[in-house]
A and B are shown apart, each in its own frame.
Chain A
């Protein structure tokens, strides 16, 4: 940073960043990873039953790769813990006001895992009501988080990303950062029913991308949105914090998927504490919010 004072050095650094971003944007590997994906049931028009289109993802990949490599400078840990094939449920903490954490987890499995694996996130029911966003999400393979949709995808041996905190996690206020909110239990029942391994995932860095001073609840009710955060930047756009994505060991749960809430709750707690341990590790590993 000491050399940043000279204007010529600033320009040089900018030029360097611009050229590396351009390189990522046109990197053939970024789109080639989509061709390596297998196991999707596409129809003759190139769409699956939920509207996912690999060709569309190819077009969405360059901006995602730039965000992944240059904006959030994402570092992944133990990515091989995500199995190469077979059904899997990735359970992650949710943060950052806008779901860049989900996008970066998905991108990490495409860019940093070899061979790549497609990840499909379960999204809020609110998302399909949004113009443009709904189309983007559906074409990228995101599915509305109903149990039936999840069951269908798991039976097709797909990898599913679930944020059990839901809206309570992503829109939490600054003072609550890195405190996992209440987990929903649905993912555990599905995992037990379909005998799916659970892979805990922690995202560190997304918490600080947007400072949410307070949730404006009256406005959220009025606009019919899950939350309206009040942020210093007005729009909840992310700052370039450094992302650390940590993958944990697969957890297997057996037993009666229809057991009562307390029994399921105990198992959910095990997943939650596994994610908490990963978050702790991530916080230890990083040198600061931006590095």
Chain B
């Protein structure tokens, strides 16, 4: 999937200095002018990338829209770390996204791509086991995670309110790779805790496949909500066996209080809200993006998990 080559109009990447932003930029900047907004530095950014080191919520971030003819916005400026607190997550996820949506309308942006997550479908005894894009978003557990649901729903309703903007909401399954997120932090542990007597389905996708999925949605005409699942779901034990690491079975009644204490004190990067994925699993149906955009994952399960092997 090569992005379209129109020299004049640019792609704006919010949260460009994050892992996905940097990777996308390296794939895009030769073909299209790339503009980035991020408060964090982008150390060895390609020379032809225009950076705005500003807060996305500030008024100055709008300069990116004013000074460039933005055709596409890839919105990656999304915070998943619940330790930042509900208020920060709200302003980061909801207020910033509102600003981006607003600018998309005012500056005639043609396409908006938002990287949401399939975690929002939730994982509990009451949630569905087979999830297509129509499944309800039941993953909000507290105010912090509900900001992510709000962001997703804001973007899907934007899709209907403003049909002139081709809006794409991507919901990838658990992303694994060199990045720091809950599933990768978990798999990186030297000893893998597992809930005694539970073996839910797990589904992971390699970060490169997520980048490929974002690039696939750049195709003109692509719009709507897309699940991206990667290799098929397998029981957690099957996945963990591939890592060849010791597994510690913990009774589920003990696990949560222990884990949440360790998380709060910063000893452990695995948020307690993710424990539900060690207890209840689901399968994400991504047949839509495969059928409509020809997306195919490159990393099979063992390749996606190779990163976390004991002796890689």
Interface residues of A (CB under 8 A from B): 43-45, 47, 49-51, 125-126, 128-135, 138, 143-144, 146, 148-149, 152
Number of A-B contacts defined by CB within 8 Å: 64
Query: Would you call B283 an interface residue if the criterion is a C-beta within 8 Å of the partner chain's C-beta atoms?
Result: yes
Contact A144 B125 (CB under 8 A): yes
Contacts A50-B283, A135-B199 known; list 7 others, CB within 8 Å: A49-B129, A49-B232, A51-B201, A125-B126, A134-B197, A134-B198, A144-B129
Please tell me if the beta carbons of A152 and B125 are within 8 angstroms of each other in the complex. no
A128 to B279, CA, bound (A): 8
Q: What chain B residues lie within 8 Å of A51 (beta carbons)?
A: 129, 200-201, 233, 235, 281
**Contact A135 B128, CB 8 Å, known A44-B232, A47-B233, A128-B280:** no
* Closest chain B residue to A125, Cβ basis: B125
How far is A45 from B202 in the complex, measured between Cα atoms in Å?
A: 12
Q: Are B198 and A135 in contact (CB under 8 A)?
A: yes
Out of A129, A148, A149, name the residue touching B125 (CB < 8 Å).
A129
Chain A neighbourhood of B219, CB < 8 A: none
A47, B126: Cβ atoms closer than 8 Å = no
The docked-state distance in angstroms from the alpha carbon of A43 to that of B135 is 22
Question: A132 contacts B197, CB within 8 Å?
Answer: yes
In the complex, chain B residues whose CB is within 8 Å of the CB of A134: 197-198
The reply to whether B232 and A128 form a contact with Cβ atoms under 8 Å apart is no
B54 at the interface (CB under 8 A from A): no
**Interchain residue pairs A-B with the least CB separation, the first 9:** A131-B197, A43-B232, A49-B283, A132-B197, A135-B199, A128-B125, A45-B234, A152-B130, A129-B125
Q: Which of B201, B251, B285 contacts A47 (CB 8 A)?
A: B201
A95 to B199, CA, bound (A): 28
Do residues A135 and B197 form an inter-chain contact, with CB atoms below 8 A?
A: yes
Interface string of B88-114 (1 = CB under 8 A from A): 000000000000000000000000000
Q: Digit string of B190-222 for contact with A (CB within 8 Å is 1, else 0)?
A: 000001111111000000000000000000000
B-to-A contact residues, CB < 8 Å = 125-126, 128-130, 135, 195-201, 232-235, 238, 251-252, 280-281, 283, 285, 301
Once the chains are docked, how many angstroms separate the CA of A12 from the CA of B128? 53
Residue of A whose beta carbon sits closest to that of B232:
A43
B285 cross-chain contacts in A, Cβ below 8 A: 49
- From known contacts A50-B283, A51-B281, A131-B195, infer whether A143 and B234 are also in contact, taking CB-CB under 8 Å: no
Q: List 9 A-B contacts (CB under 8 A).
A: A47-B232, A47-B234, A51-B201, A51-B235, A126-B125, A131-B195, A134-B198, A143-B129, A144-B129
List A contacts of B238 (CB < 8 A): 45, 47
Within 8 Å by CB of A131, from B135, B234, B252, B301, lies: B252
Tell me the complex Cα distance, A126–B126, Å: 9
Most buried by A among B129, B197, B198: B129
Closest-by-CB residue of A relative to B131 is A148
Contacts of A131 in B (CB 8 A): 195-198, 251-252
How many whole Å from A211's CB to the nearest CB in chain B? 29
Residues of B within 8 A of A47 (CB): 201, 232-235, 238
Across-interface contacts of A130 in B (CB, < 8 A): 197
Contact across chains for A148 and B128 when beta carbons are under 8 A apart: yes
**Shortest Cβ distance from B201 into A: residue:** A51
Most chain B beta-carbon neighbours within 10 Å: one of A45, A126, A132, A133: A45
A129 to B135, CA, bound (A): 21
Chain A residues lying within 8 Å of B232, measured Cβ to Cβ, are 43-45, 47, 49
**How many angstroms between the C-alpha atoms of A128 and B199 in the bound complex?**
10
Complex CA gap A130/B197 in Å reads 8
Chain B residues closer than 8 Å to A129, beta-carbon distance: 125
* Distance to closest chain A CB from B73 (angstroms): 33
- The docked-state distance in angstroms from the alpha carbon of A128 to that of B276 is 12
| Residue numbers in A under 8 Å from B199 (CB-CB) | 135, 138
Known contacts A129-B125, A131-B252, A135-B198; A149 and B130 CB within 8 A of each other: yes
CB distance from A20 to the nearest CB of B (A): 33
Expressed in whole angstroms, the Cα–Cα distance for A148 and B301 within the complex equals 27
What's the Cα separation between A47 and B238 when bound, in Å?
11
What is the minimal beta-carbon distance from B31 to any residue of chain A, in angstroms? 35
How distant is B136 from chain A, measured CB to nearest CB, in Å? 9
CA distance in complex: A49, B135 (Å): 15
How many angstroms from the CA of A61 to the CA of B195 in the assembled complex?
Answer: 26
Query: A43 — which chain B residues lie within 8 A by C-beta?
Result: 232-234
